[in-house]
Structure 1
């Protein structure tokens, strides 16, 4: 349990680091988009090699398929609710919708870390790197927007600390749930996280990377995939 909290804190810390970076200087959109693209590729690799493959190995295709559908639908519904209050566009009072959007992205990512630890596999370096990198642009972009809107550095940092703590607790939740579940349930949890991540990648992360990085986004995504796939098989 302490390991889940610790690794969850490491992964979530990049949200706060990104927020600090976003407040201290302006970042070129192309660079932010490139980091997003790299993180997207790394997360695609994690979905394939850390989630779907593991679920198929321990319980077969049916629990994974059910989990995929449930995760995709759950994220779609939650994302639609966040969008209604301006979560993806930056609207809303006090920057809260921006934080909700990042929290929504972070929950399935970080829950997977806890699932892997509960299974006795240790922390996935590839997934940890993917989460850490993908969090940075969210913190950078949103903190910059909030500062431009007149929010104080203390308020911006406090908001992102809350988001980071919530994401860290998602790692603990994944650990706790997987610790008491049988193989079929664990495979369903893997599928659920995979479905949620895939919808998040297609609906928000990849489009934003393409918008900011342009035609280079696809190439950088492949590089991110290759690096994470190598880490999955080497570590």
Structure 2
């Protein structure tokens, strides 16, 4: 349980670090866009290798497909609700970080409970993708006149929830079937894919311009290499 708490905190720390960087100063749009593009590539890798592929291996395609649909619909619905209250891509990115962070870190905890140790590839993918998500969202929210304190409290709360998800994943691992674990993987992948297409990639392209595609491939390559 202690290892789940420690590694969960390490993975979630990138959200707070990204939040601090995002509000520390006004970052050029091109740089923010490039960071978002890199993170998008890392997330595509995480969906492909750490969530979808492992989910299919654990429980087969059907539980993963059900999880994908549930994650996609959950993100889509909540994003529309948040959009009316806090317009802009920043709120969508923050919501995406929460909705994919919970099942991602639950998967991390389940892996620790299996006795195989921490999955370095999953840990790195979570950390590498959280950082640009948090930087981009914090920058957008700060530009929308949200206070630094409000933004940092938000990321602190999201990080705490993600750490709790890691511990919960560790605690329920023995009682969880392969189908359930596959469904968790699918849920995270579904939420991520909708967030990527709706918010992260369009925002990266708008801010970074033509280099966004190249940087996305670089992010994918780095995360895939770590996998």
Same fold? TM cut 0.5: yes
Which residue does the alignment assign to 1:107? 102
Matched, 1:40 2:36: no
Alignment RMSD (CA, Å): 2.7
Q: Distance in 1 between matches of 2:58 and 2:100?
A: 26
Which residue does the alignment assign to 1:149? 145
Matched, 1:30 2:30: yes
Matched, 1:135 2:127: no
Q: Distance in 2 between matches of 1:127 and 1:12?
A: 12
Q: Distance in 2 between matches of 1:98 and 1:193?
A: 14
Q: Judging changes above 3 Å, is the alpha-carbon distance between structure 1 residues 207 and 4 closer, same or farther for their aligned structure 2 residues?
A: farther
Q: Judging changes above 3 Å, is the alpha-carbon distance between structure 1 residues 61 and 162 closer, same or farther for their aligned structure 2 residues?
A: closer
How far 1:214 moved relative to its partner? Answer: 1.4
Matched, 1:56 2:56: yes
Structure 1 unpaired stretches of 5+? 92-96
Following TM superposition, the consecutive aligned residue runs of length 4 or more in structure 1 with deviations greater than 6 angstroms are none
Q: TM-score, normalized by length of structure 2? A: 0.84
How far 1:105 moved relative to its partner? Answer: 4.8
Which residue does the alignment assign to 2:67? 67
Q: Judging changes above 3 Å, is the alpha-carbon distance between structure 1 residues 201 and 30 closer, same or farther for their aligned structure 2 residues?
A: same
Q: Distance in 2 between matches of 1:98 and 1:43?
A: 13
Which residue does the alignment assign to 2:185? 190
Q: Judging changes above 3 Å, is the alpha-carbon distance between structure 1 residues 87 and 98 closer, same or farther for their aligned structure 2 residues?
A: farther
Q: Distance in 1 between matches of 2:135 and 2:61?
A: 39
Which residue does the alignment assign to 2:3? 3
How far 1:147 moved relative to its partner? Answer: 7.8
Q: Judging changes above 3 Å, is the alpha-carbon distance between structure 1 residues 83 and 16 closer, same or farther for their aligned structure 2 residues?
A: same
How far 1:181 moved relative to its partner? Answer: 0.7
Moved more, 172-181 or 212-221: 172-181
Structure 2 unpaired stretches of 5+? none
Aligned residues: 226
1:174 to 147, 164, 169: 169
